[in-house]
Amino acid sequence: MAIPSNGVRLVGRLAPSPTGALHLGNARTFLLAWLSVRARGGTILLRVEDIDGPRVKPGATAATVADLRWLGLDWDGDAVLQSSRLTDYAAAVGKLLAASRVYPCVCTRSEIEDAASAPHETADDGPVYPGTCRGRFASIEAACVETGREPALRFRVDRDAVPFEDAFRGPQRGRVAGDFVVQKRDGGPAYQLAVVVDDAEQGVTDVLRADDLLPSTPRQLLLYQALGLPPPSFCHVPLVVGEDGLRLAKRHGDTSLRWLRDQGVTADRLGGHLAFLCGLRPKGTKCTPRELLRDFDLDKLPRAPVRGDEHGLLA
């Protein structure tokens, strides 16, 4: 494990989800996560978040790993697959159950939408849960028997906000919108739980990710606290958006690394383009991630969402 010169152990991670091809937007976030840790002499881990059921496509894990390597990113040790850690997630849920921090919930999404007192108010994963099942069932078994449904497990949120300091965005109010799911109805872990259990177990100290995950951070901080685990420091960076200002997606054209590579874009050309999108190099530069380490400075990153697509790469 690398120890940076100041003696503080620094561990970051790349956590791709193999639900689609790696595109410009997530490649840029992974590059920043890699640079911010490697530039300080830290350790980088690779964790593949492959438990999103039907959205995970066969062969996508290998393709994602190959894309990251082609881009010039590396990591320490073997990749960890979330699908191999289901017993760890179940153990964490067991702890939360034993401490009465979670309760069974049988509500469907449409029931939650109908019951929400302020339907316009949303959490990061849909309408704010109105608390229908809080205190409703004596146990998970009782919830099954009484309703004939397999329940999800929800975390009992006991405050409105969890303020925290974001390494890029500064102080955050950290609003928590309602009780949230930690175990889905099919028994699988929710994203919030898996990511907390993994980051803690892997000793991750620094999380850098896109700011679409900013609203889930207070929930994760509550889970760290409830599980008695030390939280990492969080750094949320702006997303790459298309010319229309909306999050980069298929309608903006194909920006997958594989497609760009097939069009003849070289890895150093792409590396330079990503560096340009990070405010680290002028447009048209060619460079590898390693060449960016020397003068990497997160403060050069634009504060607003960055407009970027394949234009300029294929010229």
Binding site residues, Zn ion, CB under 5 A? 105, 107, 132-133
Q: Provide the minimum distance between the beta carbon of 267 and Zn ion in the complex, in angstroms, as a whole number.
A: 48
Which one, 84 or 108, has the nearer CB to Zn ion? 108
Which one, 19 or 132, has the nearer CB to Zn ion? 132
Please, what's the largest Cα pairwise distance for the chain? Answer: 64
Query: Rounded to whole angstroms, how far apart are CA atoms 110 and 116?
Result: 10
Q: Provide the minimum distance between the beta carbon of 153 and Zn ion in the complex, in angstroms, as a whole number.
A: 10
At residue 213, what is the residue type? L
Query: Rounded to whole angstroms, how far apart are CA atoms 299 and 283?
Result: 18
Sign of CA dihedral 72, 76, 82, 83: positive
How remote is the C-alpha of 16 from its chain's centroid?
A: 8
Q: Provide the minimum distance between the beta carbon of 104 and Zn ion in the complex, in angstroms, as a whole number.
A: 8
Query: Rounded to whole angstroms, how far apart are CA atoms 267 and 238?
Result: 23
Which one, 10 or 133, has the nearer CB to Zn ion? 133
Query: Rounded to whole angstroms, how far apart are CA atoms 15 and 46?
Result: 6
Q: Provide the minimum distance between the beta carbon of 26 and Zn ion in the complex, in angstroms, as a whole number.
A: 33
Q: Provide the minimum distance between the beta carbon of 106 and Zn ion in the complex, in angstroms, as a whole number.
A: 6
4 token code pair: 């940076």
Which one, 40 or 136, has the nearer CB to Zn ion? 136
Nearest-CA neighbor of 193 among 201, 182, 184, 205? 182
Which one, 105 or 235, has the nearer CB to Zn ion? 105
